[in-house]
């Protein structure tokens, strides 16, 4: 699954630079994650880096976007090949 940022986000700016796929960007009110670029850090790290640094724990899995680890790896390969 791609990750999502909930409205508990405090705009602390720590998640954006941690994303190896540049999937996180400032939104209108809170940071947002581009699901087309989010691989949950599969291919880069063992755990999603944005979740590791988030001080308010507002980055859960997006239930609207179920993906297997294999699908996330395929997405990673496409993103890094470009």
Instruction: Determine the 3-state secondary structure of 68 from DSSP.
Output: coil
**pTM to 2 decimal places:** 0.93
**Phi, psi for residue 25 in degrees, rounded to 5:** -150, 160
d(CA 38, CA 62): 11
Length, in residues, of the chain: 82
Nearest to 50 by CA among 41, 42, 65: 41
pLDDT of residue 18: 98
pLDDT of residue 1: 77
Q: What is the mean predicted confidence (pLDDT) over 46-73? A: 97
pLDDT of residue 17: 98
How far out from the chain centre does Cα 3 lie? 5
């Amino acid at each position: 699954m791609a990750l999502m940022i909930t409205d508990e986000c405090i705009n602390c700016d720590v998640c954006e630079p941690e994303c190896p796929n540049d999937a996180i960007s400032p939104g209108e009110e809170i940071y947002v994650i581009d699901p087309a670029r989010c691989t949950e850090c599969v291919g880069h790290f063992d755990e999603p880096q944005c979740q590791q640094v988030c001080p308010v724990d507002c980055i859960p899995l997006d239930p609207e976007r179920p993906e297997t680890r294999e699908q996330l790896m395929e997405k990673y390969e496409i993103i890094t090949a470009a």
